[in-house]
Structure 1
Amino acid sequence: MGHESRSASEPAASRAPMRTSSPVLIGRDQELRTLVECAERPPSTIFVAGEAGIGKTRIVHEVIERPRLSGKRILLAHCQAMREPFPYGAILDALREVGASLPHTRELSPVAGALRAHLPELTNLLPPPPERLDDAHAERHRLFRAVRELLDALGHTVLIVEDLHCADEGSRDLLRFLMSDMPRDLTLLVTYRREETPGGIPLGSAYRPPFNDNGVTVEVGPLDVTGVQQLTGAILGDRFVAPDFAARLHERTGGIPFVLEETLRALRNSAGVVQTDGLQARRLLDEVEVPALLREACLDRLSRLSNTARSVTRAAAVLGAPASTKLLGELTELSTPDARAALSEALEAGVLLETGESRYGFRHALARQAVYWTLSGPDRERLHARTASELARVEPQPLVRLAEHSRKAGAHDDWLRYAEAASDRAAELGDANTATSTLQELLKEAELAPTDVGRLAVKLSRVAYTGLNQHEVTAALERLLADQRLPDSVRGEVRLALGLLLNRQTGGVESGRAALITAIDELDERPQLRIKAMSVLALPYIGDVSLVEHRSWMSKVDEAVGNTTDAAFRVSMLANNAPAQLMIGVPTAWRVIERLPSGADTHPEQRDLTRAHCNIADSCSWIGYYETARDYLSRGIRLADDCGAPFIVSTARATRAHLDWITGHWQGLAERVRRLRDEYRDLLPVASELSLILGCLAVAGGQWQRAAQYLDDTGMAEPNNAYAPVVVNAHAAKVRMLMAQGEHYRATEVAERGMRLVRRKEAWVWAAELMPAAVAAHLRVGGESDAVELTETFGTAIAELDVPAAAAALPMCYGLLAARRGDDRAEEHFDRARSRAAALPAPYFAALAAERLTRWRLEHARAGCDGADPASTFGELAEEFDALGATHDAARCRYVLREHGLARATRCGRHGYGEKLSPREHEVCRLVADGHRNREIARILFLSSRTVEQHVANVLRKLKLDSREQIRKHTLDG
């Protein structure tokens, strides 16, 4: 959600020129439901508690804007912190606004006249004032009765009292009085900060809720990382927000919407744009200064503390992590009782908070930073030195923190020693991100000797490609190669790591290949590293280089593996080379795979074995061994959990998603793949494969615009800088889409572009999806000779290869050719294609083959071998496509039935869905949400425009919506 609308007691960020606020409420669904349900049933009392900036006011205003509360009168009272508060001021201010409503209410009793002196605006509408009483308590009681009388007369009313923690005692007494006997149509809603109310009780210990009161207290807490990501995206106009950026943003802001908004304002550049993706964004976030309004609020609280409480708070700011009373006392040289008293004062003031059992720190990183910079330079150095001294006695030593405190204390040698040890430990534990970030910081140090640079550069190179922060590490390696201090003896190893990383980045494949070739020359005296570079160049799926060249590199690696006595090196090279051979259909690849050991003795060997299993699974997923792929993938993920290999895990998750697509496990797949794609956006091999899956799902569902966007994201425009199997299959999906849209000539052009890549790379093994689509496209535009040539070349190319998916696609091509010629063998070819695809299993492509087979039988008046009539079979196919989620294909089958007058009744008769959406209405709703117009939806679902209009009207009526835009919002919110 966006920040809360603040009262005068809070900083008014709305005066800032570059405003950032969310147009929608984020992360408060449960709280909103609770508040609305309570407000609907007066008399009711609602307490909304939360710290400053958490979003109390925003959620309250969302409540009163709900359609379910339309017709209720809304009165707003804002309590303000004043030295001499006006008694009952906030509530009386709210009542001044009811003048226009009073003439329409029932007649007020004489007691209401007690308000005349307090509400002169209503003088002409109130009864005459009663005689003044001599007893002040009785006079006050009569005033309270008059307020209740007025509220009761107003009828359905919501009285909102903001910032109750700032209210005067008289207003608290008045609210206690009202709550003891609520007007029957009144909802009283108050907001307050628990930390600023005595004992956390907003109306004091004297308040007793009435019997059978319809009341609720809602705690509005900080947003989690997902909430921060969604809120940031909403504030910035539905922008993508990288998960790691959102996590850092959450860490720095504590998930408090106001702090988040202020931070985003501070991150805006001169054009008003906030960058949320990539290395620069992460650096800007780490370096952003504390927003002025937040800094002022923190310093104001700090100024109210005693000297000892300020000392403890500042020590906590230097420490930078939640700490015990004992440690804070040692840093400030206070006795334990004095430290405890000072800490209690800081806690009561809300400057510090208890973050865990007997651990105390700041609410978020920016609050800590605001306090930290109140210290002078010498005081900061002194406290950092004391902190390092205290932490050095802890076992095991917190090396990362020791390195940081040593650096800030100016202890250069200690910093180098601790930081390098921290990196080594992180690498051993599989925490690549910590290892690489620590080494990068060290290598930025200008005073490092060449020997230190060389040693640290080697360590960075060896851990660089195991983590996920690859763009950042790539930049560090490029800087190293330009650094004159880098010894020539390690330059080749650094360039090898750079080549590996570039191969995983958009637009970096050609540069990566060039770096690897150069590294081979530089590694002349490092034979194992030379072979490692060759094994990467042997990977057949990278770029558009011919498989002939890849096979040449494979042969060299095979020879080296056969000659080595180093078991660990053998496993490392087999992890690349064996899956590479399998991926291009080499029949002997399985014998090579059998040479892999069943277990590993060391952490690096286990990581290589993990990589081998996941790579084999990936290769199997492209050539048609889907069940085998799942077996290897399961073993690989189990090994990865033990050794910590985030990049390998990322590829494994993409492979699993690919297998789910091809084997028909589509339920919830699109949402899962979108989350993965956001998480691994910077990793080319993972992100492009996930884009392909999303594109294929969208094509099957008739979501043309979405499909085109996803397929373009696979790298179709630059196959030389992409992953070939992904791009080949993206062309296949796009051809299927264009054929479905009736764009047959465009489909042929796209098919030819895909075939150019296949021919240039000789990658017929990955053309299982493209070949039938290309043949169908050529036949549709009269290019029978082209279709024949493609089919014959395909059959010859895969004849001696072990590629089950391609073998299943070949009879489909023959079937299409035979059907065009009217050859009866078409039925046999289609049936073989269907049975082979089903055996893989690839149920979607088996269903497509079955549809071709049934269409042939229908056009030639043939019954199936089981005697089934085409009408029955088409109906079953429609249900099969529906079960998968292939909306467009299901609709096409139903259209064929209607076209031939073979409408098939359901087994249970026509369903009645009442006020719930029918399956067809769900389809229409989804397509409307995707931005399709009625005519487009009609084409996708093979319906008439009139029928679509009726479905859209039903969707609007059943969902109680007014427009197509509301359908879109409803679908996104759902």
Structure 2
Amino acid sequence: MLRTSSPVLIGREWELRTLHTAVAAAPSVIFVEGEAGVGKSRLIAELINAMGDGPPLVAVQHCQPLRDPFPYGVVLECLSQCAGQVGQVRGKLSAVVGALRPYLPELADSLPSALPALGDPAAERHQLFRAVRDLLAALGRVVLVIEDMHWADEGTRQLLRFVMTDPPPGLSLVMTYRREDLVGNAPLGRPFRPPPSAAGAHLTLAPLDANGVRELVEAILGNPVAPGFAEIMWQRTAGIPFVVEEATCALRAMEGRLGTDEVTARRLLDIVEVPVLLREAMVERMHALPDDARAVAQASAVLGVPASDALLSAVAGVKWSRAHVTRLLEQAVLVEVAENEYSFRHALAQRAVYGSLSGPYRQGLHVRAVRELAQLDPPPLVRLALHCRSAGLTADWLRYSEAAAAAAMRAGDAFTAMELLVAAVAEPTARAADLDRLAINLCESALINLHHQEAIAQIEQLSSDPRLSDEVRGEVHLWLGLLLIRKVGAMARGRAEIELAVEALHGRPERRLRGMAVLALPYISTAPFAADLVWMERVEESLEALEPGGLRTELLASVLGARVLVGDPGVWDRLSLLPSVSEPVEAGTLRALARAHCNLADGCAWAGYYGRAREYLHSGLDLAKRAGAPYVVGTAEGTRARLDWHVGDWDGLAERIEQLTQTYAHLLWVTSELNLVKGWLATARGDWGRAETAFKATRMDQPDSAVIPVAVAAIGGMATLLLNRGDTTAACGYADRGAALIRRKGLWAWAGELACPAVEAYVAAGRLDDAHTFVADLAAGLNEVDAPLAQASLLAARAQLAEAAGDMAGAARLCAEAIGCFTDLGTPYRLAQLTETVAARAIDITELTDLARTYEELGATSDAARCRHLIRSAGVSTPSPRGRRGYGNELSPREREVRRLVAHGRTNREIAQAMFLSPRTVEEHVAKVLRKLGVKSRQEVHL
């Protein structure tokens, strides 16, 4: 069942401690102030829950918003809850308590005899007040909780002031209230100061901050939410816990989950239905306002953003707006968001009021909003577009939308431009000429933006819209293809759209070249590189006729990056064709230059030029941020994760990958690289189930829908994983698959991550002919190819073959050459693995000990465990990774690793295999982990 509130109290730890302390210091009086929904009742509930079944005696009642409340009613209701306790203290009750008999008939048998009538209302009231105080004194330790004191009648206020002026020694009075709904300025009618004999406290509950909102949402859902979601939820709900809870549950019911990216979350929060309780509360509050004040609040709901009192007055059509705004501030309907600008407390309240307006009245307010906003300099184009649409002014809406989108693009806000244009092109009454222009603008903004699910759907509809001209339809096919090849599972469909566009765009050579440059990219198709090369050479031939600018730089970004990626040794002399990063260029060229540098970084990282990759990545990210190109930034983040893996910068890498995976969830080119690195990290840490899931998420099993070098590397990763598990047959199956893909593509420069595990699998399975064939093909494929990583891997693979043939001298020589190459590359993990091969063969205990330490420093705990296992197998005892010491109730390094694997759901057998320990030893470690963590089962172990 879905929780509608948090199982734990969020963000109120200090307040709860203060409340506990004040209640314990009886006699005491505590005020808890806060706006509606801020969590006053939840705080009280946590206090009562912590007290248990008593003592003290706890009585809780709520004041009601009645037109004519019963005098003293809420206090008498509290006393009526004490029937059992009153009977126990009957002998201690003074005669004056008998005054309560007419008011508390359910306690009549336990109360003294009724008192005779005095005939004086004031005297009888005094008698009643004394009776209440004496009864509370007789009851001993009592916590009286009265909620919603803003609705209390005057008699109740007077009674409570009387009691607390000389409070019973065991009484703690807790009162909650909303300041905006107080009749006077204080919950007891006038300021109250406890007597010296009583303790006092005044708590004011503020809304949660963004971090508190995140914790609250995660506590309700039972799982983490995506980065950025909490910030958006906080903005939309003002951090009011009740509103956060209601919005979270409404979103969950609508979407089925909340693990969405930031933009999707923003969209959902914009359209989620306003919770019923909140809607009813706002409607009730609006009905209680005078007509003109209500009109100003309704104008604020239509404007939807903070506005001055003058603008609110003009849109509402009323005078004396300051007085009305003051009234709305006092009633907490509006708040001052910025100096002299007013709006609703949170977006859901604004939408609740907006939704209560009738259609004609709402439309009239939008018309007045358009009239007023159009006079501003500069005019707020986005707001004008939205108001024109709601006012039914279609022609003005399209005009403002296009202007607003252009301004947003200039400001680097492609998402806003895309949202405006998606709505505009969907308008069925738009003219053909307007639609052509709007369609191209939409496609260009979507290509720059990260999140384009809605844009893709709209562009697909546009491609068959009869209003489009043939030339624009060809462009739409091109843009659609460019978007689809980025999307998970749509690579082949995107390539088909681009091929269709290239055929249709003979009249638009610049657009056609753009499509040809994409078809030249070798990593988006399993077709032989020879076919890609035809397209690449046609694009390169056209470069000579192009003037410097955005298109030329865009084409260079594609072909130069691809040339580096395939190991073309002549590409380095052509890099000077790119504009200098210091040259002033227009926005389009700047975006293209950013892409060029990031493409070069990507190619260098695949080839093994890690130093160059780092330089291009740094300049590319700087250019992309300057150009406002979030998609380019995303692809660079994928490259950076892979580069950090290679050069050994693993600290915090796994956590960063998790965040990036959620941010770029819909972008195949980014998530596939991130999953590849996630698989490598998990393998190095012995978490093979997690590694397998990550490798398969690269779509390596569907290479036609994958980024090919990523798929090849993931296949190599799976082969390594299976070899670690001892499943040689399955490892050979992946080696076969990777070799077939490389042979089909004809690009052996991409075999750097596949070569060693493939040859190792073949040798282990006795398939020596396949191993020799693979190495021979690799050597031939790398002839005149500039790919340092693949060349180093070729040497290592040849060393494996020499060892399998019994040529130990040749194996040692080749291994030494490979070690030299990997040292030059600057890849500490690959270097350690190769060095381990030599050290294990020679049983070099010193070297193995150093390697275990190197692996530990990297974070490759499984490899470190293997080295220690080799040392133990040689009959040498091994110290703990960080030196032996007593850990007491702390987890030792090995126990921390066991905890991590248990938390990921690994069995004892799997842990033993990953850590090179016996099952019995693992069993002992698991028992210690459970004991030290204070949990009873493996399911309770978390990171």
TM-score for both structures, normalised by structure 1: 0.86
Matched with 2:203 is 217
Give CA-to-partner distance per residue, 1:547-597, whole Å, 9 cap, x none. Answer: 222222111111111232344332121111111111111111222222211
**Which residue, 863, 866, 874 being the options, matches 1:892?**
866
The one-letter amino acid paired with 2:342 is Y
Give CA-to-partner distance per residue, 1:762-786, whole Å, 9 cap, x none. Answer: 2322222222122222222222322
Quote the Cα distance in structure 1 between the aligned partners of 2:483 and 2:785. 31
In 2 relative to 1, CA 714–65 (structure 1 residues): closer, same or farther, beyond 3 Å? farther
Matched with 2:778 is 794
Matched with 2:61 is 78
In 2 relative to 1, CA 85–936 (structure 1 residues): closer, same or farther, beyond 3 Å? farther
User: 1:933 and 2:917 equivalent?
Assistant: no
Compute the displacement of 1:144 (Å). Answer: 3.1
Matched with 2:890 is 916
The one-letter amino acid paired with 2:448 is T
Matched with 2:345 is 363
User: 1:733 and 2:722 equivalent?
Assistant: no
Matched with 1:688 is 672
Counterpart of 2:552 in 1: which secondary structure? helix
Larger displacement relative to structure 2 (719-728 or 77-86): 77-86
Give CA-to-partner distance per residue, 1:425-462, whole Å, 9 cap, x none. Answer: 11222211111221222212222221111122222233
Taking the TM superposition and a 5 Å limit, the aligned residue runs for 1:474-873 are 474-598=456-580, 599-822=583-806, 823-858=808-843, 870-873=844-847
User: 1:31 and 2:15 equivalent?
Assistant: no
In 2 relative to 1, CA 59–692 (structure 1 residues): closer, same or farther, beyond 3 Å? farther
Quote the Cα distance in structure 2 between the aligned partners of 1:825 and 1:176. 98
Quote the Cα distance in structure 2 between the aligned partners of 1:113 and 1:737. 85
Compute the displacement of 1:924 (Å). Answer: 2.1
Quote the Cα distance in structure 2 between the aligned partners of 1:729 and 1:186. 72
For structure 1, the 5+ residue unaligned runs are 1-17, 859-869
The one-letter amino acid paired with 2:928 is N
Quote the Cα distance in structure 2 between the aligned partners of 1:941 and 1:175. 68
Give CA-to-partner distance per residue, 1:843-868, whole Å, 9 cap, x none. Answer: 2222222222221120xxxxxxxxxx
Quote the Cα distance in structure 2 between the aligned partners of 1:744 and 1:545. 29
In 2 relative to 1, CA 635–380 (structure 1 residues): closer, same or farther, beyond 3 Å? same
Matched with 1:140 is 129
The one-letter amino acid paired with 1:32 is E
Cα pair 2:789 2:825 within 8 Å, conserved: yes
The one-letter amino acid paired with 2:761 is A
In 2 relative to 1, CA 576–916 (structure 1 residues): closer, same or farther, beyond 3 Å? same
**Which residue, 52, 55, 61 being the options, matches 2:36?**
52
Quote the Cα distance in structure 1 between the aligned partners of 2:312 and 2:659. 41
Matched with 2:423 is 441
Quote the Cα distance in structure 1 between the aligned partners of 2:55 and 2:814. 70
Compute the displacement of 1:274 (Å). Answer: 6.2
Larger displacement relative to structure 2 (343-352 or 113-122): 113-122
Give CA-to-partner distance per residue, 1:180-210, whole Å, 9 cap, x none. Answer: 8999998876554343346886566533368
The one-letter amino acid paired with 1:80 is C
Taking the TM superposition and a 5 Å limit, the aligned residue runs for 1:164-175 are 164-168=149-153
Cα pair 1:871 1:903 within 8 Å, conserved: no
Cα pair 2:11 2:212 within 8 Å, conserved: no
Quote the Cα distance in structure 2 between the aligned partners of 1:928 and 1:610. 43
Counterpart of 1:396 in 2: which secondary structure? coil
The one-letter amino acid paired with 1:324 is S
In 2 relative to 1, CA 207–917 (structure 1 residues): closer, same or farther, beyond 3 Å? farther
In 2 relative to 1, CA 373–269 (structure 1 residues): closer, same or farther, beyond 3 Å? closer
Larger displacement relative to structure 2 (572-581 or 110-119): 110-119
Cα pair 1:43 1:182 within 8 Å, conserved: no
Quote the Cα distance in structure 2 between the aligned partners of 1:69 and 1:253. 33
The one-letter amino acid paired with 1:708 is E
User: 1:901 and 2:875 equivalent?
Assistant: yes
Quote the Cα distance in structure 1 between the aligned partners of 2:390 and 2:60. 49
Cα pair 1:403 1:418 within 8 Å, conserved: yes
For structure 2, the 5+ residue unaligned runs are none
Matched with 2:24 is 43
Quote the Cα distance in structure 2 between the aligned partners of 1:220 and 1:586. 62
The one-letter amino acid paired with 2:690 is R
Counterpart of 1:354 in 2: which secondary structure? strand
Counterpart of 1:361 in 2: which secondary structure? strand
Taking the TM superposition and a 5 Å limit, the aligned residue runs for 1:133-532 are 136-137=125-126, 140-141=129-130, 143-144=132-133, 146-147=135-136, 150-152=139-141, 161-168=146-153, 191-197=176-182, 206-208=191-193, 217=203, 219-222=205-208, 224=210, 235=220, 238=223, 252-263=236-247, 273=256, 286-335=270-319, 338-532=320-514
Matched with 1:8 is none
Quote the Cα distance in structure 2 between the aligned partners of 1:51 and 1:120. 36
Counterpart of 2:522 in 1: which secondary structure? coil
In 2 relative to 1, CA 659–36 (structure 1 residues): closer, same or farther, beyond 3 Å? farther
Quote the Cα distance in structure 2 between the aligned partners of 1:283 and 1:514. 31
In 2 relative to 1, CA 199–537 (structure 1 residues): closer, same or farther, beyond 3 Å? farther
Cα pair 2:444 2:479 within 8 Å, conserved: yes
Larger displacement relative to structure 2 (527-536 or 349-358): 349-358
Aligned length, in residue pairs: 928
The one-letter amino acid paired with 1:35 is L
Identity among equivalent positions (%) equals 42
Cα pair 1:666 1:884 within 8 Å, conserved: yes
Quote the Cα distance in structure 2 between the aligned partners of 1:128 and 1:34. 43
Quote the Cα distance in structure 2 between the aligned partners of 1:263 and 1:299. 18
Cα pair 1:929 1:964 within 8 Å, conserved: yes
Counterpart of 1:465 in 2: which secondary structure? helix
Quote the Cα distance in structure 1 between the aligned partners of 2:568 and 2:766. 36
Compute the displacement of 1:633 (Å). Answer: 1.6
The one-letter amino acid paired with 1:21 is T
Cα pair 1:223 1:257 within 8 Å, conserved: no
Quote the Cα distance in structure 1 between the aligned partners of 2:200 and 2:732. 68
Quote the Cα distance in structure 2 between the aligned partners of 1:850 and 1:965. 39
Quote the Cα distance in structure 2 between the aligned partners of 1:180 and 1:819. 95
Compute the displacement of 1:684 (Å). Answer: 1.2
Larger displacement relative to structure 2 (484-493 or 702-711): 702-711
TM-score for both structures, normalised by structure 2: 0.89
